[in-house]
Amino acid sequence: MEEAGIMGFVKKKPLGYYTYVKSLQKPPYLVSVHLLKVESTVANFLEKGQRQQRWLTPMEAALLVEEPELKAMFRLVTALGSEPQA
- Integer Cα distance of 17 and 19 in angstroms: 7
- Tens digit of each residue's pLDDT (9 = 90 or more) over 9-28: 999 999 999 998 888 888 98
The pairs formed by 75-82 with CB atoms below 8 angstroms and a separation of 24 or more are 76/15, 76/16, 77/15, 77/35
pTM beyond 0.85, yes or no? no
**Sequential pLDDT tens for the chain (86 residues):** 777 888 899 999 999 999 988 888 889 899 999 998 999 988 888 888 887 778 899 999 999 999 999 999 999 998 877 554 44
Count Cβ atoms below 10 Å from residue 39 Cβ, excluding itself.
Answer: 10
- Integer Cα distance of 16 and 86 in angstroms: 11
